[in-house]
């Protein structure tokens, strides 16, 4: 976990927040670098929004500190923090037109009129809504409102931009489009962004680094690749992407072939690359797309045998649910390329994987 490096523009130190008896945020420490796109990812109730609210100043920490540009801002009122924020429901002022909405922070900072005009025009151009100054929020679609909210939050050049699940209300195609838009704007402006979402795909697409939170605690911090390929624990493995979990105790080890005694008393042989002691109780995770159905008929030991229980066609891919042993279900995802059709329910198959893809957690 990166901490206290002096390149960090924002630092959270042992941050905790109580709501009455409930501990919403539990001892969070995190450093955020200048220009970084950091996503805080987690399910509802994980505390991610509370962290954001504390950074913005709408909640004060019960314990810990927030350091911004070297100074503690933990109890500074929200209007003095100079941090931009885009709200989930956009929070555009309904009684003002778009010009006044975007000009608002500039007026508060007593910027002079000509300058305001220029900056507002700039901001509108940035979000590709030039010429819309006189419209009111009511007249805009959801996607447009979202862009105006973004324009308003960056027009006064805050060093850090907070975004609280801003794309939640948009439909899928629009969301995917906006994800890239936001990313482009961010790299163009070289602004630090702290982005909160529960959508792990969104996090993977947009972030430089991801902080996974659950129940108020940081589960893991890393780049999208790190989190996806090397999850630290079961939660992260299950929350980001999909995972198959294989749990049992090691009864035999032969080079990189392990024999595992599973819960259903069946013994399975797995290819694994790493340090393992016989007798250890282990849990492995492997992603569905890393498993393949073998075509060879030879009897080498690096495959599991199973029966296909369900076949689900999802356009791009086909998913198989394969029963291993007596109860274990393995999910397998296979791209629908041109060669060969899909298997049928009831077929017996052998599945295997590249041993570096099995992860111990």
Partner 1 sequence: MKRESIRRYSYLQSFLLISPYLILLSIFYLYPLFNLFPESLFKDGNFTLEHYQHFFRIPLYSRILFRTIRISFMVTIFCFLLGYPVAYFLTEIKSQKIGSLFLACVLLPFWTSILVRTYSWVVLLQTNGLINNFLTFTGLIEKPLDLLYSEFAVIVGMVHVLLPFMILPIFSVLKNLDRNLIRAARNLGANYFWVFLMVIFPLSLPGVGAGAMFVFILALGFYITPAILGGPRTLMISTLIDQQINRLFNWDFAAAIAALLLIVTIVMIVAFNKIVGLDKIYSE
Partner 2 sequence: MNDAVAKSKERPSVDKSIGVNYPKILLGVFAGVIFTFLVVPSVITVPMSFSNTRFLVFPPKGFTLTWYSQFLIDEEWVGPTLFSLKLAICTTLVSLILGFMASLALVRGSLPGRKFLNILFISPIMIPVIIIAFAVYGIYAKLNLIGSTVGLVLAHAIYTTPFVILVISANLYRFDITLEMAARNLGASAFKTYLFITLPVIKTGIITAGIFCFIMSFDELVLAMFLIGTKRLTLPIKMFSQLQFRIDPVVAAASTVFIMAAFAIILGLGFLRRERKAIVSKEKGNDSFEQ
CB of 25 to partner 2, least distance (A): 18
**Which among partner 1, partner 2, none contacts residue 313 (Cβ within 5 to 8 A by kind)?**
none
Stretch that binds partner 1, among 22-30, 72-80, 304-312, 317-325 (CB under 8 A): 72-80
Of residues 40 through 59, those in contact with partner 2 by CB under 8 A are: 56-58
Q: In the block, which residue shows the tokens 């009122």?
A: 77
Counting contacts by CB under 8 A, is residue 99 touching partner 2?
Answer: no
Counting contacts by CB under 8 A, is residue 85 touching partner 2?
Answer: yes
Give the nearer residue to partner 1 in terms of CB position, either 60 or 313: 60
> Binding marks (x or -) toward partner 2, 314..343, rule CB under 8 A?
------------------------------
CB of 157 to partner 2, least distance (A): 12
Nearest to 14 by CA among 22, 4, 6: 4
Cα separation, 317 vs 291, in Å, equals 13
Give the nearer residue to partner 1 in terms of CB position, either 53 or 246: 53
Counting contacts by CB under 8 A, is residue 87 touching partner 2?
Answer: yes
- Give me the DSSP letters along 124-173: HHHTT-TT-TT--GGGS-HHHHHHHHHHHHHTT--SEEEEESTTTTS-HH
Burial of 314 (0-12, 13-18, 19+ CB in 10 A): exposed
Nearest to 208 by CA among 196, 194, 192, 224: 224
Nearest to 283 by CA among 301, 265, 293, 270: 270
CA angle, residues 225, 69, 115, in degrees to nearest 5: 100
Task: Report the DSSP pairing between strands 348-353 and 304-314.
Answer: antiparallel
Give the nearer residue to partner 2 in terms of CB position, either 109 or 263: 109
Spatial strand order in the sheet of 22-33:
22-33, 8-19, 63-68, 71-72
Counting contacts by CB under 8 A, is residue 93 touching partner 1?
Answer: no
Counting contacts by CB under 8 A, is residue 144 touching partner 2?
Answer: yes
Of residues 37 through 66, those in contact with partner 1 by CB under 8 A are: 53, 57-60
**Which among partner 1, partner 2, none contacts residue 75 (Cβ within 5 to 8 A by kind)?**
partner 1
Counting contacts by CB under 8 A, is residue 72 touching partner 1?
Answer: no
- Give me the DSSP letters along 284-307: EEE-GGGEEE-------SS-EEEE
Q: Which residues contribute to the site for partner 2 (CB under 8 A)?
A: 56-58, 77-85, 87-89, 91-95, 104-105, 108-109, 131, 134-136, 138-139, 141, 143-144, 152-153, 156
Binding site for partner 1 (CB under 8 A): 53, 57-60, 75, 77-78
């Amino acid at each position: 976990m990166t901490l206290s490096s002096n390149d960090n523009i924002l630092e959270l130190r042992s941050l905790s927040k109580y709501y009455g008896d409930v501990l919403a945020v539990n001892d969070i420490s995190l450093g955020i670098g200048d220009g970084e796109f950091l996503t805080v990812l987690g399910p509802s109730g994980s505390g991610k929004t509370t962290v954001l609210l504390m950074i913005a100043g709408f909640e004060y920490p019960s314990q810990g500190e927030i350091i911004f540009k070297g100074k503690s801002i933990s109890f500074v009122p929200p209007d003095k923090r100079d941090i931009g924020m885009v709200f989930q429901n956009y929070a555009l002022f309904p009684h003002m037109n778009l010009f006044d909405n975007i000009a608002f922070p500039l007026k508060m900072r007593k910027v002079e009129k000509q300058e305001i005009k220029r900056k507002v025009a700039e901001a509108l151009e940035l979000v590709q809504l030039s010429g819309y100054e006189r419209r009111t929020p009511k007249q805009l679609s959801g996607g447009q409102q979202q862009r105006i909210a973004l324009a308003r939050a960056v027009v006064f050049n805050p060093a850090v931009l907070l975004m609280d699940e801003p794309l939640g209300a948009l439909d899928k195609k629009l969301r995917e489009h906006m994800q890239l838009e936001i990313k482009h704007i961010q790299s163009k402006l070289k602004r630090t962004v702290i982005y909160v979402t529960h959508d792990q795909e969104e996090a993977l697409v947009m972030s430089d680094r991801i902080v996974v939170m659950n129940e108020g605690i940081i589960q893991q911090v890393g780049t999208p690749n790190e989190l996806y390929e090397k999850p630290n624990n079961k939660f992260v493995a299950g929350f980001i992407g999909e995972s198959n979990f294989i749990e049992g105790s090691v009864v035999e080890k032969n080079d990189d072939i392990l024999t595992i005694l599973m819960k259903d008393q069946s013994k399975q042989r797995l290819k694994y690359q790493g340090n393992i002691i016989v007798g250890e109780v282990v849990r492995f995770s492997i992603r569905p797309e890393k498993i393949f159905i073998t075509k060879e008929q030879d009897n080498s030991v690096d495959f599991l045998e199973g029966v296909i229980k369900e076949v689900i066609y999802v356009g791009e891919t086909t998913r198989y649910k394969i029963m291993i042993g007596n109860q274990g279900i393995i999910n397998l995802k296979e791209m629908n390329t041109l060669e060969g059709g899909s298997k049928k329910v009831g077929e017996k198959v052998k599945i295997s994987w590249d041993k570096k893809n099995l992860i111990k957690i």
